[in-house]
Structures are given as C-alpha cells and as structure tokens.
Amino acid sequence: MGFQESLEKNQFTITAEIAPPKGTDVSKMMGHADKLKGRVHGINVTDNQSSVMRLGSLAACHLLKDAGFDPIYQITCRDRNRLALQSELLSATVLGIRNVLVLTGDHPKMGDHPQAKPVFDLDSTQLLRVIGQLNQGRDISTRSMNKTLPTLSNGAALEGSTDLFPGAVANPEVDPLEPHLLRFSKKVSAGARFFQTQAVYDLVKFERFMKYADDLGARILAGILLLRSPAMARYLNRNVPGITVPDILIKEMESSANPLETGIKIASRLIRQVQGMCAGVHIMAIGLEEKIPDILDEAGL
C-alpha cells in the first residue's frame, strides 16, 4: 500500500529517509532502499540535505519509483526560484511522483558551498500554496506588476495539472514553541496534508504538540532518529538546531556495551510510545538505513 493510501485509511504509516549520493553511483542508495522493501509505506529522499551538494532528489525519486517504491520527494526553497520550483513539480508529476515534502531548507552557510547565493524566493508555506494552485491546473505567473503584494490567485492555465500530495515539517520540541506553532498552523491552512516532524525524544512535549495538531486536524508522522553512539547524541545537541537528546538517553547509551544496539532499542521504544498518539513515524537512520528493519522488528511493526 502506498503512502497516501495508508495515511488516508488511518493505518499506522511508516516512512524512512534516504540520502542520494554525492556523485553518480546510486548502488549504495538503492541497496539501502532494498532493505526497506515491504517494511515502509514511503521513502523520503532528501534535497541537498544540510546544504551539501548531492545527486538530485527528483532523479533519485524517479529511480525509486521505477524500483517499485513510493517516494516522498523532498523539495527545499534554498536552491531554486519560483520558476524552477514550479517546473520541478511539473517534472515530478510526469515522472509519476505524487508525494512532496516541502521545506524551506537550511541556509547555504550550513553546508559545503557556504559562498553560494541563497535563493529563498518562496518559503515552505508559500510553496505549499503554489502546489495547491498547480493541483488546480494553474501556475502562479502574473503579468500585472502594479499590485501592492503579489497574490497567488491569478496565474495561467496549465496544459495538464499536477496531482501532488503535499506535506511539510514541524518540530514539537522547538523552543520557543508559540511562534513555531503559528507557522505550523499557517502550513496547515496552506494545504499541508501530512507532517513529518524533527526527531522526537520528549514525550511530554510531543503530547503537547499533538494536542495542537489534533485541533487543526493535521496528520503527524513523528520523527524517529536513530542514535548510534553517545558522541553522536552530543554532536546533535551541539550542532543541529531543534534537536535535543535528553541526558537520560545519552547515559543509557554510555552504560551500554553495544551503543548502536541500545540506539535501536531507544528508537523502537519511542515508536511504541508514540504509536497511539499520531498517524505514523518517520525514521531517520542517517547512513545506517540497513538497521531500519531491526528497529521495526523490535517495535513489532
């Protein structure tokens, strides 16, 4: 069953993330995908993740689609203006890709080309609106330059519309939460039909977030990030905005003879804990995709 169908049938939906290679050899990426066959409903493909140049997300999604997977095409606003973004979404449609995860994207300064021009012509909320419009068979073009603010209400008719299933990201643990929730609700009203969250570790915060999300009727897939070592957990805390691995989990890994094994246990435990609370989980194994089946086994999924 595909990703959208699973969500719409209110099944507990599982997605996992894989990253395209820095280069043209896709064998490792396809190998990772193979390990996920029959275990997940959709596979996210990152778009120049962390502003590091890699093989394109769209091409990788196309390969996954051909190999029988249901890809979730991640598209950021960092590298393309509104012409390129719309064009990419048309391209995705003709390649049979339906699920799109819209992100604003990390700043180029965070990556391996810090001197690159940051684009951010649109932000993720605006891009969600654009997708809504493309799905209705119109682009966002405008010939009139006299308006005080450009709107998305006009646009030219397309020869064939898109049929995209748009989603977005959210972070239940961000501090301060209030301005983030405001943006989250804007994304809901801009047409996000599912959300994949940043790594969840604090269930109290997650519950608080879910209360808000449920009120808006948003479908949430909780982010599950596989910890492989105490050092990695500390690295995340120091360097990745919005991720906080609690000390108690770091200690649990430190006292373990096999930290990765413990990381898998923590991930599967978190999955079981959020299972009754949200629509599904989104697993990020960051290079250890072959361990995802172990996490799912351990979680009984």
Partner 1 sequence: MIITRQKPFSEIRDLLQEKRKVFLIGCSLCATACQSGGEEQVLEMKDRLTGEGKEVLGYAVLEAVCNVLNSKKELRQKKAELAQTQAILVMSCGAGVQTIAELQNVPVLAALDTLFLGNVKRFGQFEERCSLCGECILNKTGGICPVTTCSKGLLNGPCGGMSNGKCEVDPDKDCAWVKIYERLKAIGKIEAIEEIFAPRDYSKDAKPQGLALKKDLVLKK
CB of 230 to partner 1, least distance (A): 21
Contact 19, 38 (CB under 8 A): no
Residue 239 CB-density burial (10 A; 0-12 exposed, 13-18 middle, 19+ buried): exposed
Neighbours of 203 (CB within 10 A): 15
Does position 31 interact with partner 1 (CB under 8 A)? The reply is no
Q: Which of 101, 169, 227, 279 binds partner 1 (CB under 8 A)?
A: 169
Share of the chain residues as helix, strand and coil, in percent rounded to the nearest 5: 40, 15, 45
CB of 211 to partner 1, least distance (A): 19
Q: To 5 degrees, how large is the angle CA 301–CA 47–CA 44?
A: 15
Give the gyration radius of the chain's Cα atoms: 19
How far apart CA 39 and CA 41 sit, in angstroms, is 7
**Residue 191 or 259 having the CB closest to partner 1:** 191
Does position 188 interact with partner 1 (CB under 8 A)? The reply is no
CB of 51 to partner 1, least distance (A): 10
**Residue 198 or 262 having the CB closest to partner 1:** 198
- Site size toward partner 1, by CB under 8 A: 40
Closest CA to 208 of 257, 253, 175: 175
Q: Which of 15, 74, 126, 268 binds partner 1 (CB under 8 A)?
A: 126
Judged by CB under 8 A, the stretch of 17-25, 174-182, 199-207, 292-300 that binds partner 1 is 174-182
CB of 33 to partner 1, least distance (A): 25
Neighbours of 151 (CB within 10 A): 12
Judged by CB under 8 A, the stretch of 58-66, 99-107, 156-164, 199-207 that binds partner 1 is 99-107
Does position 135 interact with partner 1 (CB under 8 A)? The reply is no
CB of 89 to partner 1, least distance (A): 15
Does position 74 interact with partner 1 (CB under 8 A)? The reply is no
CB of 255 to partner 1, least distance (A): 28
How far apart CA 279 and CA 153 sit, in angstroms, is 32
Q: Which of 9, 147, 215, 248 binds partner 1 (CB under 8 A)?
A: 147
How far apart CA 128 and CA 135 sit, in angstroms, is 11
**Secondary structure tally for the chain: helices H, strands E:** 11, 8
Q: Footprint of partner 1 on this chain (CB under 8 A)?
A: 82, 103-104, 106-107, 109-110, 118, 120-126, 129, 140, 145, 147-152, 169, 171, 174-176, 178-180, 182-183, 186, 189-190, 198, 241-242
